[in-house]
Amino acid sequence: MISPARKRSRWPAIAAATAAVMVLVAVALPRTARAASRKVPTAVTRQGRFLVTVTAHGALVARKSVNLAAPRVPGLTITWLAPPGSRVKPGDPIVRFDASSTRADFKAKLAAQEQAAATVRQTEAQAKITAQTDQLTEAEDHAAVQTAKLTVIKDSILGQIQGDEAKIALQTAREQLKVQEAKTHLDATSNAAKIAGAKRLLAQAAFLTDLDRTYLSHMVLRTPSAGIVTLMMNRSGGWMNEQPFQVGDSVWPGAVIAQIPDLHSMAMEGQLKELDRGRVAVGQPVRIHVDALPEHAIPGRLIALSQLTEVDFSGGWPPKRNFHAWGEPIAFNPALRPGMNGSLDIVVKEIPNAVSIPAQALFTLNTQPVVYVQSGSGFQPHVVKVLARNPGSIAVSGIPAGVSVALVNPNHHAAHSSGGR
């Protein structure tokens, strides 16, 4: 049995231990509360110009571009292509085709043309000789007729018999002259036909030669304007096997192989929701965001809106209907390229000197919009009035600028934190 004296000696130790525990609890509780408050993510409210925007997601396009198409030449094969994305200036080669077979055909046809030209010259020379011979013979026959006439006159004086013989000789001379005149005409007609035929062959050979010369002049496609090289898709193997044109591809006449977009005509083409169409108008300021340049918001203006909607089947059923909007940068930006994904923020309203908060900082308490403002080691709900909304930020009134607000509900966060412990 413990004596009363020993019991009295243990009371001071117990009292001291109890006091130490109470001090530890008193110190630990505020620290735990402060630690919990520090775990709540916060943001600082800002005051300034608040732009109410409508967002249209899309990609950059060039409103002006030059298409380089394969010429009307059969059997084309690509032997060289300018690297895609390379910058070019007017006159630079973009595509080269295999010209070996066309060059061989050109040499053969050029030889055929020279042979046809030689045939024309030979035919014309022979026709000239024949014409001269016919003219000489015809002149001799004319002289024979005249001589026979004189003989008739002379022999008529000398006697009846001699006169009749002279008349027969005159008639023979005249018949011979007619035969020669017919031969001269026939030779002239035949030679003209031969010359015409030879010239037709020469013209045909010259046409084929000029055609191959034209083909050879089109074996290199050059850009008429400056820009960057964009290779188009080769769909000759079907849409499942399409890929950009490359060296070794056979191309058909008229196929668009490359495109040279004008970098000064870049614009963001975005899909605008049907409900937002009535809020926007051409000429409104825009902010262009490019995924590849996340640190830049490029100022611009809205330059065009589509008149009709386009059905979008990518979002499930029923399909959505979207308009198209085009925003153009105010200043030229050499970093922009066609096909870059991004978005277009169209400024539909401006609120000057507004307090803005992140969208996730707004909550509902007793059906009223509230913001949890940090106060000491905790957060106090403040009822606010929503002035305008953007996808990522909200303009409000009812709280000052420069205060820290919770990005998650601190009550739920504290309960979750205590439950986790």
Q: What is the DSSP string of 376-408?
A: TTEEEEEE-EEEEE-SSEEEEESS-TT-EEESS
User: pLDDT truncated to tens, each residue of the chain (421 aa)?
Assistant: 444 444 444 545 544 544 443 433 334 334 433 444 458 899 999 999 999 999 999 999 999 999 999 998 888 999 999 999 888 999 999 999 998 888 888 788 888 888 888 888 888 888 888 888 878 887 887 787 778 777 767 666 656 666 667 777 778 878 887 887 887 888 888 888 888 888 888 888 888 888 888 888 889 999 998 888 999 999 887 777 889 999 999 999 999 999 999 888 999 999 998 888 889 999 999 999 999 998 889 999 999 999 887 877 666 677 778 899 999 999 999 889 888 999 999 999 999 999 999 999 999 999 999 999 998 888 999 999 999 998 889 999 999 999 999 999 988 765 555 554 4
pLDDT for 36 equals 46
What is the H or E stretch that residue 221 is in? strand 220-222
pLDDT for 269 equals 95
Q: Which residues 6+ apart lie within 8 Å of 170 measured at CB? A: 145, 148, 149, 151, 152
- φ, ψ for residue 242 (rounded to 5)? -70, 145
Burial class (CB in 10 A: 0-12, 13-18, 19+), 355: buried
pLDDT for 131 equals 84
Distance CA 1, CA 6 (A): 10
CB atoms closer than 10 angstroms to residue 418: 10
